[in-house]
Amino acid sequence: MQEIELQQQMVSWRHYLHQHPELSFNEQVTSDYIASVLLEHNIEIHRGLAVTGIVATVHGKKPGKSIGLRADMDALPIQELNEFDYKSVHDGKMHACGHDGHSTMLLGAAVHLKKNNNFSGTVHFIFQPAEEGGAGGRVMVEEGIFDQFPCEAVYGMHNWPGMAEGQFAVHDSAVMAANETIEIVVKGKGGHAAMPDQCVDPIVAGAQIITALQSIVSRNVAPADSAVISLTVVNAGFATNVIPDEMHLKGSLRYFKPEVGTEANRRMKKVVEGIAEAMGATATLESRPNYPATINTPKHAEKCAVAAGMVAGDDNVHRNMPPSMGSEDFSFLLNASEGAYIWIGNGEVPEDQPQGGCMLHNTHYDFNDDILSLGASYWVQLVTNILQ
């Protein structure tokens, strides 16, 4: 195992970032801190893409092709409930997805490769803002990251709680799902609860729509494909003796293949409009695409698996783990460039943490410092293998 020797420094960077979490496109302190570490090590940086983004560049001893390595920097609007000394000092903000760890591992790799640049080519280290819903990855692509910093391939990595430390997972194709927000408005005719015959009850129509939508995944999506329709917000009514005029529903649609998303949308519209009409009401459906699916290119997934195997041992690289229905804006980078995105184990979830202690987006989550060096070593190994 070729682990790099920056462990102590990486822990202190990680704790500083953890203590100062910032939300999407507001990662000013975070970006300044990362830039200061890079400059301290004489690494060339470019700032300003997607507001707070940084692209740091390290050249090898010989010329060759260029690749990109990406980490995300943003935190979540969550009140941290951890009590350790580096807990968040920003009320209501928390690094609950481990992006503090991702930025730190990439920093560690950049500092190490600057000192040990015995490779041929160029590495662009991409510190990206706004992964958590802000589509910072899309903004970086739209602002021309790959025109300014051409990359033959781009690679990403996310920590994965529940997978043991010391392990990686590499998918040959789909890793994370596409994600759309669904909004349904059911319009009826409100009135007295005692006189339903003189009203059109949007709640009864909406309730049937909720139930009928459940059949789309089970009856219209091919069994070998995957999709999720979750309705997560239901709003209607204000008094026990009043039938309201409207019912509002919101939720999430997830899938991997674009054609599955198109068909799910077509069926949802039919169900929503058809049931409303049958009940004497009207209803509209709006879908808003958020992130596309994160799909690896097999040849790059193979390079990632080889590098992960060299630092962790081949037995510690999972090649058949199911993809997640969660989503990730690294997809925008993968739609603009070839590449792959892998998971690094953040450690098993301890049984004595019934609230989900180390699960992503949990108030008790923390990135595992013990994997910093392994993650940074993986980046170094990947660069060494590809830019020989």
Binding site for Zn ion (CB under 5 A): 97
Q: Would you say 97 or 275 has its CB closer to Zn ion?
A: 97
Q: Would you say 43 or 157 has its CB closer to Zn ion?
A: 157
User: How is the chain split among helix, strand and coil, in percent rounded to 5?
Assistant: 35, 25, 35
**Consecutive H or E run containing 382:** helix 372-386
- Given a contact cutoff of 8 angstroms between Cβ atoms, the answer to whether 74 and 93 are in contact is no
Q: Would you say 64 or 326 has its CB closer to Zn ion?
A: 326
Return the closest-CA partner of residue 128 out of 44, 25, 37, 42.
25
Q: Would you say 53 or 244 has its CB closer to Zn ion?
A: 53
Residue-wise DSSP of 207-235:
HHHHHHHHHHHHHTS-TTS-EEEEEEEEE
Least gap, CB of 76 to Zn ion (angstroms)? 7
Least gap, CB of 328 to Zn ion (angstroms)? 7
Least gap, CB of 22 to Zn ion (angstroms)? 14
The Cβ-side half-sphere exposure at 66, using a 13 Å CA radius, reads 17
CA distance 61 to 92: 45
Q: Would you say 163 or 386 has its CB closer to Zn ion?
A: 163
- What the block records as the tokens of 238 is 């204000």
Least gap, CB of 345 to Zn ion (angstroms)? 15
Q: Would you say 97 or 139 has its CB closer to Zn ion?
A: 97
Beta-carbon count within 10 A of 346 CB: 27
Least gap, CB of 100 to Zn ion (angstroms)? 10
Least gap, CB of 92 to Zn ion (angstroms)? 16
Return the closest-CA partner of residue 14 out of 381, 377, 368, 378.
368
Amino acid at 12: S
- Given a contact cutoff of 8 angstroms between Cβ atoms, the answer to whether 123 and 179 are in contact is no
Q: Would you say 156 or 339 has its CB closer to Zn ion?
A: 156
Q: Give every CB contact of residue 83 below 8 A, 6+ residues apart in sequence.
A: none
Q: Would you say 162 or 274 has its CB closer to Zn ion?
A: 162
Angle at 339 between CA 338 and CA 345, to 5 degrees: 165
Q: Would you say 97 or 311 has its CB closer to Zn ion?
A: 97
Least gap, CB of 6 to Zn ion (angstroms)? 23
Q: Order the strands of the 44-47 sheet from edge to edge.
A: 44-47, 54-59, 120-128, 62-72, 153-161, 339-347, 168-169, 317-318
- What the block records as the tokens of 101 is 């760890």
β-bridge partners, 168? 317, 344
What is the phi/psi pair of residue 165, to 5°?
-65, 150
Return the closest-CA partner of residue 149 out of 303, 46, 73, 43.
46
Q: Would you say 246 or 366 has its CB closer to Zn ion?
A: 366
Least gap, CB of 9 to Zn ion (angstroms)? 23
**Which residue in the shown chain puts its C-beta closest to Zn ion?**
97
Least gap, CB of 200 to Zn ion (angstroms)? 41
Least gap, CB of 184 to Zn ion (angstroms)? 26
